[in-house]
Structure 1
Amino acid sequence: MGGDAREALAGVRDALDPAVQENPLVVAVREGRAPLAAVAVFAAEENLIIPSDRRSFLTLAARAGEPAAAGFFAGLAQGENLVLPMVAPLAAAAGMDRAGLAAYEPRAGCQAYPAYVSWLALNAEPAAAALALVANFAAWGGYCAALATGLRQRYGFGDPACAFLDFFAAPAPDLEEQAVTAAQAALDSGVPLDAARRYGRLLHEYETAFWGTLADI
């Protein structure tokens, strides 16, 4: 029984592939050579991912037997509620109107990530899923920050168009603390969290596939 949650989180981060090259879409946007169509598809995919992730997070919150884990996932779900209206201005700046968003057909390489989050919602120990998610949040936030900078500097996007990216680019240290607290409570109760390493690695690989799919547009 027991264990240290911060050590567990460090172990999850160690399992992420350090050899993955720089995000190809971020590089293309930074250099001003990414087609706006790729940015529009990014927004359209997120328009589908956000409601899916919100339901997954609410499911994890309902399954969590420990208040910290339930609060962590409920907070993530609330964040999805806040950010969803920010997708349409990003899509519009890239040339896709609301009708285009509604008619958009998703790409499998982009939807593998939320599909796996849905799997976690039904199968994972919530505290282990929390560790896996926060281990990957730093990379996602960094990508969003770099995209926002590139779209402003190279494509002339304004603040409303970049609000979605700015939301995720902002540091959220409280999320990591909540996840660590949830994991520590689980460990103290004798709940094993070894699977968090696998969950984190797969989330990382699915996110890599997401960006690779966008870069091929």
Structure 2
Amino acid sequence: MARTARELLERTAGNLAPGPHANRLLPLIARGAAQRSTLAALALEQGQVIPADRRAFLHLAERPDTGPECAAFFTGLAESEALALDRLAAYADACGCGAEAARAAYQPLAGCQSYPAYIAWLAMNGSPAEVALALTADFAAWGGYCTTIAEALRHHYDFADEACGFFDLFAEPGPELGQRALAAVREGLDTGRLDEDRAHRQGRLLQTCETSFWHALWEEDQRVP
């Protein structure tokens, strides 16, 4: 049975929703038990992820096989990443790792950087509409994580609102993101450029990379005495 774009988005997000214990670090942050050095590592890893993802989204928007609705979706994502990078600076400063020297000295974790690596692979090899569907499913989990982290930073770590702005941005995405995702998926269906099974595989791999990101940080947190 043919599905509408909205049904496909909802079905994919539901099928790919992570389990309650997929993110081992989140419960530690939620109760204020994560090391502050781990919060700093989160900032430094995101400082690597965001620029890479932004370039990948711009590439997807500019590919010759990208339709106008998909292009609008990826352009919007790239603009959001630029805003996120600005907000990340306040969070990094609050974690004590905002200085250029701290960023230069930091050694990124392979488990964290598998996510932008796969985004880059999708930008080169994926069908734009399928990538849009896979990404939108992953964003649902990421937004929930950001909601929990923003609340914990305020209540357990005494972070000011400005320092939480990075997580607030993703915790409450604007309605235009959902509208653009819907239009991009509809365009893929209308043009025959969206294979549901392939998009599901891509979304599953994205979720695995997402889990790897948080697990790598959790492992680092456990090493701190």
- Compute the TM-score of the two structures, normalised by the length of structure 2: 0.90
Alignment of 1:22-171 (within 5 A): 23-63=23-63, 64-98=65-99, 99-171=101-173
Q: Please give the per-residue CA displacement for 1:9-67, whole angstroms capped at 9, x wherever unaligned.
A: 23422442653515322211121110001100000000011110000000100125311
1:160 & 1:18 partners in 2: Cα distance? 29
Query: Equivalent of 1:205, from 201, 205, 208?
Result: 208
Aligned length: 216
5+ long unaligned stretches in structure 1? none
1:69 Cα offset (Å): 0.4
Aligned letter for 2:134? A
**Structure 1 counterpart of 2:223:** none
Determine if contact 1:69/1:182 at 8 Å carries over to the other structure.
yes
Correspondence for 1:215: 218
TM-score (norm 1): 0.93
Q: CA deviation at 1:79?
A: 0.8
- Calculate the aligned-residue CA RMSD, in Å: 1.7
The answer to whether the 8 A contact 1:12-1:201 is kept is no
Check 1:19–1:25 CA distance in 2 against 1; reply closer, same or farther (3 A cut): closer
Distance of 1:18 and 1:104 partners within structure 2: 29
Is the alpha carbon distance of 1:192 and 1:84 closer, same or farther for their aligned partners in structure 2, counting shifts above 3 Å? closer
% identity of equivalent residues: 46
CA drift of 1:101 comes to 1.7
Cα-to-partner distance string for 1:110-144 (whole Å, 9 max, x where unaligned): 00011000000000000110011111111111111
Contact in 1 for aligned 2:60/2:66 (Cα 8 Å): no
Moved over 3 A (4+): 17-20
Aligned to 2:181: 179
SS at match of 2:53: helix
Q: What's the counterpart of residue 16 of structure 1?
A: 16
Contact in 2 for aligned 1:66/1:185 (Cα 8 Å): yes
